[in-house]
Amino acid sequence: MMKHYNDEGNGKMTNVMIPNFVEFIEADSVVKIRWEHKEAKLVDSNDREISLLEVLPVLKDKCTRKKLFGETLEEEAKIYQFVEWSLRFGPDLQGDQAATALKELNSFLENRVYLTQHRLTLADVVAFYTVHSLIAKLTYYEKERYVHVSRWYNLIQHTPVKMKLLEVKFSRSKLY
């Protein structure tokens, strides 16, 4: 039975993103998850805490979903850029900071289907987990203000590889 990690009620990015991300890319054998005070941490084989950016090259070599990491150096660089963005703008943002992050992402997605390529990449997976709690709190009206983020988010949450978070509902027609 697959585990279901949900951030409902706690708002901690690591509680949602880390376990789901590791399972999604099928990297359970490469890194382990250590729980400390209800917070998930990535650890290596020596039980040393490591950052997501630090472990990405190792994950790329060992996981079965290599295309998620990019096929060229340029793609890899763009993916790393969005992983950094996701770590900087976590779901714990409130008010103006959350609005700024969503506005920035909305602007970036204006002419794109996915963040870095014409297909799903690691950038989309990490950003999806990052903005989940922000998007889930928005009203239908607020989701319409971030129409490109909403379109992208809805696409990602319905990918064939289930993202394992509670589904966020979107209106099919404009409300206002």
Distance of alpha carbon 116 from alpha carbon 122, whole angstroms: 9
How many domains are there within the chain?
A: 1
Run of H or E including 42: strand 39-43
pLDDT in tens, 42-89: 777 787 887 778 878 878 887 778 888 998 999 999 999 998 888 887
Residue 5 falls inside a structural domain: no
Q: Which two tokens mark 14?
A: 């690591």
pTM: 0.78
Answer yes or no: is 31 within a domain: yes
From CA 103, how far away is CA 149, in angstroms rounded?
Answer: 9
pLDDT band at 8 (very low <50, low <70, confident <90, very high): very low
Residue 49 carries which side chain, given as an amino acid letter?
Answer: E
Tokens 């997605």 correspond to 109
pLDDT in tens, 137-157: 888 888 899 999 999 999 998
Average model confidence (pLDDT) for the chain? 78
- On whether residue 46 sits in a domain, the answer given is yes
| Position 6 in a domain | no
The two three-digit tokens of residue 77, written as one number: 């660089």
What is the C-alpha to C-alpha distance for residues 5 and 110, in angstroms, rounded to an integer?
Answer: 30
As a whole-number percent, the residues of the chain with pLDDT over 70 amount to 75
User: Residue 148: inside a domain, yes or no?
Assistant: yes
The DSSP code for 129 is H
**Which residue type is seen at 11?**
G
Q: What is the predicted pLDDT for the residue at 91? A: 60
Q: Label residues 40-71 b or e (16+ Cβ within 10 Å = b).
A: bebbeeeeeeeebeebbeebbeebebeebbbe
Q: What is the CATH classification number for the domain harbouring 59?
A: 1.20.1050.10
- For 135, the domain range is 13-157
Are the CB atoms for 31 and 42 separated by under 8 Å?
yes
Give the three-state DSSP class for 71.
Answer: coil
Residue range 87-110: average pLDDT?
A: 86
